[in-house]
Chains A and B, each alone.
Chain A
């Protein structure tokens, strides 16, 4: 299901224009981006947790030529599914 279809579906269910829904959805993604950028986690009941994790820098070796490379640290988004939804998916 693509974004557009999702927005349309939500608009129908809530009786609002898809513009409003779009705004709300954008606001939500912005909140996720800004709060996760501060390494906070956002927990949504019976759905899961959005969480950003900081990965430390590390050294990897290219097995082909033995060159060692330093991989910089990064912040990666992760999502942990809640047990409720996990059970439903089975």
Chain B
């Protein structure tokens, strides 16, 4: 494997294969390459059976720029050797992969999943992550947008003397008073309730108001959860490759949801444990806000208990089968597209979530983190991942929405067009 065979070794191999002396083999090989070289120098092309064709091609002179000096240089015309392997050789080499064929991918395999497989999970999303109070970016494809917003944010943060953290900072008392009231009550009921009954039935009731103040509890677990979702989609995609016709989105969604729950649980547990220690020392510094939060979180807890009671035995709240009104909360990592992916199985359906919450959301490209949106039941708009027509409708609709917001629509639609033209 990956070893280099030298000329003497080659001579030996050929000699063994033909039962001739090494001397003969050496003479032959030397003469062979000398002859071929000479023919090539004469401008002839040489074809060797079961190996391939060596051909001389003329490269015309062209202009270029010297990398070091920046001056224009003319590359003189020269000859180039082109080797085309013989079909028999190419086939023999490719035998291990011969049974594979190029396949058309299903529409329900998204760019995100593919990115996860290629190992570069849409980097723009991670650019946004560290920034604390970013105006929400709905579209993770618009990279420049993401960069823009994040740079703005760093400026803002400098003003407020926030450290620009590369990882979600553990605790931020300064930012807390502003963020809280909006963020808190909304995220919790939808995101966390599933785990509440298990982690917090007895230990937390008093600590709660203090542990909540920063927004990390939401962002952190979600960050992990998203990763996990991607992991699952890798598995899913691996399957899709083997039996490509099969649509495993539903199963994937269930796995994703389950994995997400598990991670949320772990993340939340670990976080609250850590916070219990930290928050006590910080609490005195923002006494004013604590009272606000008290109200918030007591209300919250009531809700939690309600949901907790209902849910202790039942399935997770976010399962699509759930009859009551499903809501979700925008965060730095949870855009409309992500939600659509989660609830409907395809990001293309984000437009329906937008439609349903038009009064709350203005520009779909700038969504305030913490906004609670109602996820309409799939039947309401005839959402069906497996139906190409439905997906197409959604795309047309989103194009219309973007037409209303021309400032950012350009980059978005242009990109969309590049990837999938419909």
A14 and B2 CA atoms in complex are apart in Å by 33
The prevalent SS among residues of B at the interface is mixed
Knowing A40-B4, A44-B10 are in contact, say whether A29-B37 is a contact too (CB < 8 A). Answer: no
Name the distance in Å between B117's Cβ and chain A's nearest Cβ. 9
A25 and B27 CA atoms in complex are apart in Å by 12
Contact A38 B4 (CB under 8 A): no
Say whether B36 faces chain A, with CB atoms less than 8 Å apart.
yes
Identify which of B2, B5, B101, B104 gathers the most chain A CB atoms within 10 Å of its CB.
B5
The prevalent SS among residues of A at the interface is mixed
Knowing A28-B32, A42-B10 are in contact, say whether A70-B241 is a contact too (CB < 8 A). Answer: yes
A1-39 residues with Cβ-Cβ distance < 8 A to B are 1-3, 6, 9-10, 13-14, 20-21, 23-33, 35-39
- Among B25, B95, B103, point to the contact of A69 (Cβ < 8 A): B103
B32-58 residues with Cβ-Cβ distance < 8 A to A are 32-33, 35-37, 39-41, 44-52, 54, 56
What is the number of residues of chain A that contact chain B, defined by CB distance less than 8 Å? 60
A39 and B3 CA atoms in complex are apart in Å by 8
- Contact mask for chain A residues 44-61; partner B; CB cutoff 8 A; 1 contact, 0 none: 111110001000000101
Contact A66 B420 (CB under 8 A): yes
Contact B31 A47 (CB under 8 A): no
Say whether B283 faces chain A, with CB atoms less than 8 Å apart.
no
Name the distance in Å between B103's Cβ and chain A's nearest Cβ. 5
A33 and B91 CA atoms in complex are apart in Å by 10
Residue of B nearest to A59 (CB): B114
Contact A14 B27 (CB under 8 A): yes
- Among A10, A76, A89, point to the contact of B56 (Cβ < 8 A): A89
* Chain A residues within 8 Å of B109, by CB: 68
Contact B100 A73 (CB under 8 A): yes
- Among A69, A85, A88, point to the contact of B104 (Cβ < 8 A): A69
Q: A73-B97, A90-B79 are in contact. List 11 more A-B contacts (CB 8 A).
A: A1-B47, A23-B18, A29-B89, A41-B5, A44-B29, A47-B37, A61-B419, A69-B102, A75-B96, A77-B90, A88-B41
Chain A residues in the interface with B (C-beta under 8 A): 1-3, 6, 9-10, 13-14, 20-21, 23-33, 35-48, 52, 59, 61, 63, 65-79, 81, 85-86, 88-90
